[in-house]
Amino acid sequence: MALKEPVLLKRVEKMTDPTSVEEFTKYGGFDALKKAVIMDKEAILDELDTAHLRGRGGAAYPLGRKWRHLYGSQNTPKYIVCNADEGEPGTFKDKMLLEKDPLSVIEGMVIAGYVFGSNDGYIYIRGEYRHIQAVFHQAVRNARAAGYLGKNIMGIEGFDYDLHIISGGGAYVCGENSALLNSVEGKTGRPRVKPPHLADVGLYLKPTLVNNVESFACVSAVINMGGEAFLNLGTKDGGGTKLICLSGHIKNPGVYEVELGMPLDEILYSEEYGGGTSTGRPIKFIHFGGQSGPIGTSEQIKDRLYDYGDFWYNKLAIGSGAIVVMDTSVNAIDYMTSVMEFFVHESCGKCTPCRLGTTRLLELFKKFQRHGGKQGDIEKLEKMLEHITNLSACGLGQSVSVSARSALAGYRDEFEACIN
């Protein structure tokens, strides 16, 4: 069943100037903030737990749990950081919020500022989105002028909170939250060694919250409708609506908002959403959640619900919301070669298993492409994937194997056909 009322995109296309506070408030903007500041902070955390809101940046970690961790930290100051680095190929949904409803992201970040008694929020916007950075700067100025940022917000004595807008520079790994913090500090954006957890030792070594753009927008929705109602939009494995990005061989590519738990077939085939393939050929597989996500074969995706639980149970993942559709003309080896080119390009080079591993994996896929594989090469591929997963320091290296393993599981025959 299609979404009755958009939750995250309710103002998009309605406002003539997306940075205007007046228009934003006309369509319910800042209602959540007004509600939040008269709520007990513990009660806000309870609502977020009840909502079962999972982080929308990719890892799907429960947002309520992350907020509680930071809430419990005694150290000050605390920093709020919004991850708007959106670099996962096939993902372009944060762009929509940042450009078409930037104040909704600001509202979520101000609520976080209130809950944690923070004075400084940061938003790290990918360098490729320069025109969006300009929109966001304008939205921040407008919010400040209207008293929603700055000193004594909404007239509340001591509620001082402002936002810093930081530009990325075109490095995918800076979307990893510790690399992102290094980049904010004006350093080269390489990941840090973890632990410690960023909620304990984050930006400038202080307790820090990092959440995705869409996650912050969801926070306002939870406060507005209540945790229970938000949960009921989704399923017991994750509440709310999700922004999805359809691309590849799909007739109607673009960003859509869907209720979690919607039948995947409806997303792919109904005219309101994907509308089937663009090529007339059937779907062969789908790459979910970006390059670091798994590939689902046409068998695997049959009768699925777009739901965290149903997906995980079937070795799939929601991730960032990317849904990259590939038709039957695409060979699994060619596809994996393309994915591996990306990882080779984006590995930051800090750890050898990732730097060399991605290069070796690419060489091996290219050898398969030439049908030059030898006996034992598939086993070698499996070993290499295990090695890079276990020995890499950050999520980039650790997830290189996800798509490759699922491709191998689904299309082993295509790999075997490349062995002499």
Partner 1 sequence: MDIRERNEKLRIIHQDGGEQENILEILIDLQFASEEGYIDKETAALVAQELHMTETRVYEIVSYYAMLKEKPQAKFVLKVCNSSPCHFSRSEEVILSLEKKLGVPIGKTTDDGLFAYHYIPCVGACDIGPVVKIRDTVFGSLDDDKISSLIDNLRNGEVVV
Ligand X SMILES: Cc1cc2nc3c(=O)[nH]c(=O)nc-3n(C[C@H](O)[C@H](O)[C@H](O)COP(=O)(O)O)c2cc1C
Among 349, 374, 376, 412, binds ligand SF4 (CB under 6 A): 349
Nearer to ligand SF4, 142 or 291 (CB): 291
Point out which span in 102-110, 194-202, 240-248, 392-400 binds ligand X (CB under 6 A): 392-400
Among 9, 231, 262, 326, binds partner 1 (CB under 8 A): 326
Please state, in angstroms and as integers, the Cα–Cα distance from residue 321 to each residue in 38, 316, 317, 405, following that order.
33, 12, 9, 20
302 scored as a contact of partner 1 (CB under 8 A): no
256 scored as a contact of partner 1 (CB under 8 A): no
Least distance (Å) from partner 1 to the CB of residue 64?
Answer: 29
CB 306, CB 318: distance < 8 Å: yes
Select from partner 1, ligand X, ligand SF4, none the partner in contact with residue 102, using the beta carbon and a kind-dependent cut-off of 5 to 8 Å: none
Least distance (Å) from ligand X to the CB of residue 80?
Answer: 12
Neighbours of 253 (CB within 10 A): 17
209-228 footprint of ligand X as x/- string (CB under 6 A): -xxx--x-------------
Amino acid at 35: K
CB 323, CB 245: distance < 8 Å: yes
347 scored as a contact of ligand SF4 (CB under 6 A): yes
Amino acid at 392: S
171 scored as a contact of partner 1 (CB under 8 A): yes
Point out which span in 211-219, 243-251, 353-361, 379-387 binds partner 1 (CB under 8 A): 243-251
132 scored as a contact of ligand X (CB under 6 A): no
Select from ligand X, ligand SF4, partner 1, none the partner in contact with residue 347, using the beta carbon and a kind-dependent cut-off of 5 to 8 Å: ligand SF4
24 scored as a contact of partner 1 (CB under 8 A): no
Least distance (Å) from partner 1 to the CB of residue 290?
Answer: 9
Strand-pair partners of 209: 80
Q: Which of residues 158-187 bind ligand X (CB under 6 A)?
A: 172-173, 175-177
CB contact set of 354 (below 8 Å; sequence gap of 6+): 347, 348, 388, 391, 392, 393, 394, 396, 397, 400
Q: How far is CA 378 from the centre of its chain?
A: 32
378 scored as a contact of ligand SF4 (CB under 6 A): no
189 scored as a contact of ligand X (CB under 6 A): no
176: nearest Cα among 76, 78, 86: 86
CB 73, CB 199: distance < 8 Å: yes
86 scored as a contact of ligand X (CB under 6 A): yes
Point out which span in 205-213, 228-236, 270-278, 400-408 binds ligand X (CB under 6 A): 205-213
Q: Which of residues 275-294 bind ligand SF4 (CB under 6 A)?
A: none
Point out which span in 6-14, 53-61, 80-88, 260-268 binds partner 1 (CB under 8 A): 80-88
49 scored as a contact of ligand X (CB under 6 A): no
154-173 footprint of ligand SF4 as x/- string (CB under 6 A): -------------------x
102: nearest Cα among 49, 156, 25, 24: 24
Least distance (Å) from partner 1 to the CB of residue 23?
Answer: 25
Least distance (Å) from partner 1 to the CB of residue 194?
Answer: 21
Point out which span in 34-42, 67-75, 333-341, 343-351 binds ligand SF4 (CB under 6 A): 343-351
Q: How far is CA 68 from the centre of its chain?
A: 20
Kindly list the residues in this chain that would bind ligand SF4 in the complex (CB under 6 A): 173, 191, 347-351, 354-355, 392-394, 396-397
Kindly list the residues in this chain that would bind partner 1 in the complex (CB under 8 A): 86-92, 95, 126-131, 133, 164-172, 183-189, 245-249, 253-255, 287, 291, 324, 326, 330, 335, 338-339, 341-342, 345-346
Kindly list the residues in this chain that would bind ligand X in the complex (CB under 6 A): 55-59, 61, 83, 85-88, 172-173, 175-177, 210-212, 215, 394-396
